[in-house]
Structure 1
Amino acid sequence: MIRCLHRNSPRLISRILGAFLLVTFFTMIHSDHVFAQTARPIISLMIDGKGVISDVQPLYQNGRILVPIRVLAERSGAAVAYEADTRRVTLRDGAHQVAVFPDSRIGYVNGSRKTLDAAPVVIKKRTLVPIRFISESLGYNVIWDQRGKVAKIWTKPAVEKDREPLERGNPYIVQAGDTMEAIAKRHATSISAIQRNNVARANFLQAGQLLFLPEDARKAVNPLASVVDNPVLLAERYVFPFDSRSEYEEFGDSFGFGREWTETNSGMVRSHEGIDIMAPQGTPVYSVGDGVINRIGWNTYGGWRVNITDENGTYRMYYAHLEAYPPALQVGSTVRTGQLIGFVGTTGYGPPGTKGMFPPHLHFGLYRTAGGGAINPYYYLQYWESNKAD
Structure 2
Amino acid sequence: MNRCLHKNSNRLWPGVLGVFLLCLVLGATGAGTREAVAAEPGPVISLVIDGKGVATDVQPLRQNGRMLVPIRFIAETTGAKVEYEASAKQVTVTQKGKRIVLLIDSQIAFVDGKRVSLDVSARIVNGRTLVPIRFVSESLGYLVAWDNQSGVAHIQTKPVEDRAAVVQEASNPYVVQSGDTLSGIANRHDTTVQELKQNNYLSSDQLVAQQLLFLPKGAKAAEHPLSKEVGDSRMLTNRYYFPFSDASWYEPYGDSYGSDREWTESNDGSVRNHEGIDIMAPKGTPVYSVSNGTINRIGWNTYGGWRINITDENGRYRMYYAHLSAYVPGLQVGSVIKAGQLIGFVGDTGYGGMGTVGMFEPHLHFGLYLNNNGNATDPYYYLRYWEQNKVENPFS
Specify if TM > 0.5: yes
Could you tell me which residue of structure 1 aligns to residue 157 of structure 2?
155
Q: Offset at 1:74?
A: 3.4
- Does the CA-based 8 Å contact 1:162-1:199 persist in structure 2? no
- Partner Cα distance (1:331, 1:61) in 2: 26
Could you tell me which residue of structure 1 aligns to residue 268 of structure 2?
266
1:196-242 deviations in whole A, cap 9, x for unaligned?
22237878643322111101222222211120120111122100011
- Does the CA-based 8 Å contact 1:147-1:328 persist in structure 2? no
1:138-165 deviations in whole A, cap 9, x for unaligned?
1111122112111111112321213321
C-alpha RMSD over aligned residues: 2.0
Report which stretch shifted further, 377-386 or 194-203: 194-203
Corresponding residue to 1:384 among 374, 383, 386: 386
The structure-2 alpha-carbon separation of the partners of 1:192 and 1:80, relative to structure 1 and needing over 3 Å to count, comes to: farther
Is 1:283 the counterpart of 2:285? The answer is yes
The structure-2 alpha-carbon separation of the partners of 1:101 and 1:176, relative to structure 1 and needing over 3 Å to count, comes to: farther
Please list every run of at least 4 consecutive aligned residues from structure 1 whose deviation after the TM superposition is greater than 4 angstroms.
200-204
Q: Offset at 1:134?
A: 0.8
The one-letter code matched in structure 1 to 2:113 is: G
Could you tell me which residue of structure 2 aligns to residue 91 of structure 1?
93
1:291-315 deviations in whole A, cap 9, x for unaligned?
0100001111101100000001110
The one-letter code matched in structure 1 to 2:355 is: G
In the TM superposition, 1:134-153 aligns within 5 A as: 134-153=136-155
Could you tell me which residue of structure 2 aligns to residue 4 of structure 1?
none
Which runs of 5 or more structure 2 residues have no equivalent in the other structure?
A: 1-35
- Partner Cα distance (1:215, 1:127) in 2: 56
- Does the CA-based 8 Å contact 2:347-2:364 persist in structure 1? yes
The one-letter code matched in structure 2 to 1:270 is: R
Q: TM-score, normalised by structure 1?
A: 0.87
Corresponding residue to 1:301 among 300, 303, 307: 303
Could you tell me which residue of structure 2 aligns to residue 222 of structure 1?
224
Q: Offset at 1:368?
A: 0.5
Aligned sequence identity (%): 58
Q: TM-score, normalised by structure 2?
A: 0.85
The one-letter code matched in structure 2 to 1:217 is: A
Q: Offset at 1:268?
A: 0.8
- Partner Cα distance (1:216, 1:252) in 2: 29
Q: Offset at 1:65?
A: 1.1
- Does the CA-based 8 Å contact 1:210-1:382 persist in structure 2? yes
- Partner Cα distance (2:372, 2:344) in 1: 26
Question: Greater RCO between the two (CA within 8 Å, min separation 6)?
Answer: 2
Is 1:101 the counterpart of 2:103? The answer is yes
- Partner Cα distance (2:95, 2:214) in 1: 44
- Partner Cα distance (1:203, 1:117) in 2: 59
- Partner Cα distance (1:299, 1:153) in 2: 31
- Does the CA-based 8 Å contact 2:40-2:330 persist in structure 1? no
Corresponding residue to 1:234 among 224, 233, 236: 236
- Partner Cα distance (2:38, 2:132) in 1: 29
Which runs of 5 or more structure 1 residues have no equivalent in the other structure?
A: 1-33
- Partner Cα distance (1:205, 1:79) in 2: 52
Could you tell me which residue of structure 2 aligns to residue 343 of structure 1?
345
Q: Offset at 1:94?
A: 2.8
Corresponding residue to 2:211 among 203, 209, 212: 209
SS at match of 1:37: coil
Structure with bigger gyration radius: 1
1:308-358 deviations in whole A, cap 9, x for unaligned?
000011100000000011111010111011111111000000010001000
- Does the CA-based 8 Å contact 1:194-1:202 persist in structure 2? no
Report which stretch shifted further, 148-157 or 34-43: 34-43
- Partner Cα distance (1:233, 1:298) in 2: 28
Corresponding residue to 1:68 among 64, 67, 70: 70
- Partner Cα distance (1:191, 1:62) in 2: 58
The structure-2 alpha-carbon separation of the partners of 1:69 and 1:145, relative to structure 1 and needing over 3 Å to count, comes to: same
